[in-house]
Amino acid sequence: MRLVDLDPRWLMKDGARIGFVFRSPTLGDDMWMTCFEAPPPLRELWPMVKDAFPEGPANEKGFTRSIQPMNQAQRWQIAGGIDAASFETMTVTPSLDGSPGGNWHGFITNGQIVGGI
């Protein structure tokens, strides 16, 4: 599975990329995960996510997206830096672990979702 198939979107702060959000590889359309080089305080996360989804609710039934924020203590590295990153080729280390919330745990390597699916 490719990251681009999970509708990834950049999360911005002061006009700069600081992370991204993507549809869960295992839980479907209404569950999304985040990844940050340096996670912002949770109170700053929600406005960023709202800005990433200007079209509003996730589907015609009116359900809103559920966002599982990642571990606030974790820092991820994006190969080549986030400013030059492309969802088609991105590599993120270490793994993204959404398992505390029953979500996906795996890697993003060369734009591919690896493990846990």
Token pair listed for 36: 């940050």
Neighbours of 1 (CB within 10 A): 12
Q: How many Å apart are CA 31 and CA 29, to the nearest integer?
A: 6
Handedness of CA 81, 53, 23, 36 (dihedral sign): positive
User: Rounded to two decimals, what is the model's pTM?
Assistant: 0.88
Q: pLDDT for 7-66, tens place per residue?
A: 999 999 999 999 999 999 998 777 889 999 878 888 888 888 888 887 765 555 554 668
- Tell me the residue type at 107: F
Q: How many Å apart are CA 100 and CA 43, to the nearest integer?
A: 20
